[in-house]
Amino acid sequence: MSEASAHPSLEYSGDDLKYESATEIKLVTASLDDFDFVTAEQSTRSGIYENVSFSALDGTNRTDTWLANAEEARAETDVWDPDTDDDGLTDGQELKWITTAEQPVRSVQQIRRASVGDRGAVGTSATSPDSDGDGYWDGWIGVYGVERTDNVVLYQEHLRDDDDGDGDTADEGVKDEETVPEQAGVHRTDQSIPSPEGVVFEEGEPPVHSNLHIGELQWGSDPTSSDDSPAPSLTIEVDYYEADSTAALNTEAWERGIERNFRLYGIDVDIVRDDVISDEQFIPCLPPTAGPLCVDPENGFGIREIIAAGTTFSSTGSDEYVIVGTKAGGTVPGGQDQSGINLYGVPYQGIFVQGNAEDTTDVSNRDLERSPYSTKVAMVSAKTEIHEIGHSFGVGRADDRYRPRTVFRNGEIYSGSISPNSRDWTPENLDGTATWSIMSSGYNEDLANTPMNGRFFAFSIEETSTADDE
């Protein structure tokens, strides 16, 4: 919320509406005019229904709910901003109802009267992003610090719209004036902005939360009841194959860096560093002991080795298990160049030092100094593990829908990928790049761009639009 629009003064008399903030005074002379009704505004569409229906942040085809300026004056919402409190729900949706578009209407005003689907009133405040005071915002995805919020509300629409008018919506994505650069930043939590527990990067600094807020409708809780609050959490046991290279990740700094990165988004991840496992503890692949669970980690950790480690050495009762190995091998996609994998259908992951070490050339000394990590390979491997944990929360699934999952494999499409066989058809551009977010492939220097500056890695709106705690 901008300072100018956070507490406007609104006076309404007849057809005149006077709007006054700390920086501006405006006069609206027609109470039936509207300045903040969200429309898709697609040049390839025709008719009122096609314009007012849009793919909402939850992926459902919805409409905004129209409000006369007089209603907004009484509700003390900003008549020039469709989402006064920036929580991802429009003012009309919060004051009236969330509509599901099903049939045409003859006028924008008629949306208030026409039967346009399920009218589900959420009962939330249009002027506070956190109606029940539990720290989590009301809607699906909200972004702090944006001015006019059309681009957040219409984010899913922009991902798939036809900007160039060629009739093909599969190669567009968010770009140019549609971008939401604020999503990659952070804000302080020791002021008046509702947030879950914040993160303190350096002693003496204020706690911060990501500008991107994953809201209660996204987590599936009731935004009007503090007794029903989100509690997204995951405990992860991490064991280390005994080697000099894996020891670089067996540190408190690596553990805390990953945990704090998730806390920026209101997610509680607990890394439990446990055992160092030697060759002698694996079942060797030699007669007469060779069998389906035998392991030869000298040739790399394949899917069989990861599952064998998880079933044999998991000991803390954690939700998931990670083995940190020297290198990938076997049937792991990408072979020894792979940096990490989260096995689909089983709670096991693998992090591979050799694959991560190959990307350390993209880490500048300055970014490392500003990061919570002590070595470049630890920094790159932390991004990899944050990426893999993201899969466990359903993050990034919107892109992955273009590629089917198979046994033990997520069928992943990386954010911003231009690979012919796994292209991201809905890229999210920021400062001229689409590989700035966590669910991109490997490590690249854009991950440490401003405002992240190497201190944290950022999820994107599209990536978090599929987050769940199931």
Contact 28, 79 (CB under 8 A): yes
For residue 314, the model assigns a pLDDT of: 96
- Bond preceding residue 451 cis, omega within 30 of 0: yes
Tally the domains of the chain. Answer: 2
Q: What are phi and psi of 171, to 5 degrees?
A: -135, 35
Q: Which amino acid is at 444?
A: N
Assigned domain for 190 exists: no
Q: Based on the domain organization, do 418 and 333 belong to the same domain?
A: yes
For residue 136, the model assigns a pLDDT of: 97
Assigned domain for 206 exists: no
* Dist CA 85 CA 389 (whole Å): 30
Q: Based on the domain organization, do 288 and 389 belong to the same domain?
A: yes
Contact 455, 370 (CB under 8 A): yes
Q: What are phi and psi of 61, to 5 degrees?
A: -75, 110
Contact 323, 345 (CB under 8 A): no
Helix, strand, coil tally for the chain in percent (to 5): 25, 15, 55
Q: Based on the domain organization, do 178 and 239 belong to the same domain?
A: no
Non-local (6+) Cβ contacts of 417 within 8 A are: 423, 424, 440, 441
For residue 224, the model assigns a pLDDT of: 94
Q: Which amino acid is at 207?
A: P
Assigned domain for 67 exists: yes
Q: Based on the domain organization, do 119 and 268 belong to the same domain?
A: no
CATH code, 436: 3.40.390
State the CB neighbour count (10 A cutoff) for residue 432: 10
* Dist CA 379 CA 248 (whole Å): 10
Chain-centre distance for alpha carbon 388: 13
Q: Based on the domain organization, do 304 and 158 belong to the same domain?
A: no
Assigned domain for 196 exists: no
Q: Give residue 25's domain range.
A: 3-184
Domain's final residue, options 184, 217, 251: 184
Domain's final residue, options 126, 161, 184: 184
Q: Based on the domain organization, do 15 and 114 belong to the same domain?
A: yes
Using DSSP's 3-state secondary structure scheme, residue 55 falls into: strand
Q: Based on the domain organization, do 161 and 244 belong to the same domain?
A: no
pLDDT tens for the chain, residues 1 to 470: 444 344 444 444 444 444 454 444 444 444 444 557 787 764 334 445 556 778 889 988 888 877 878 888 889 998 889 999 999 999 988 988 777 766 555 555 555 544 344 556 678 999 999 999 999 999 999 999 998 888 999 999 899 876 666 666 556 799 889 999 999 999 999 888 999 999 999 999 999 999 999 999 999 999 999 999 999 999 999 999 999 999 999 999 999 999 999 999 999 999 999 999 998 888 777 666 566 667 777 789 999 889 989 999 999 999 999 999 999 998 898 889 999 999 988 999 999 999 999 999 999 999 999 999 999 999 999 999 999 999 999 999 988 765 555 555 557 899 999 988 888 989 999 998 999 999 999 999 999 999 999 999 999 999 999 999 87
Contact 116, 66 (CB under 8 A): no
Non-local (6+) Cβ contacts of 238 within 8 A are: 255, 271, 272, 273, 274, 321, 322, 323, 324
DSSP for 33-44 reads --S-------TT
CA angle, residues 20, 22, 26, in degrees to nearest 5 = 30
Q: Based on the domain organization, do 408 and 290 belong to the same domain?
A: yes
For residue 24, the model assigns a pLDDT of: 47
Non-local (6+) Cβ contacts of 436 within 8 A are: 184, 416, 430, 446, 447, 449, 452, 458, 460
Least Cα distance to 434 among 460, 410, 454 occurs for 460
Backbone Cα Rg of the chain: 24
DSSP for 328-372 reads B-TTSTTGGG--EEE-TTSSEEEEEHHHHHTTGGG--HHHHHHSS
For residue 406, the model assigns a pLDDT of: 55
Q: Based on the domain organization, do 430 and 289 belong to the same domain?
A: yes
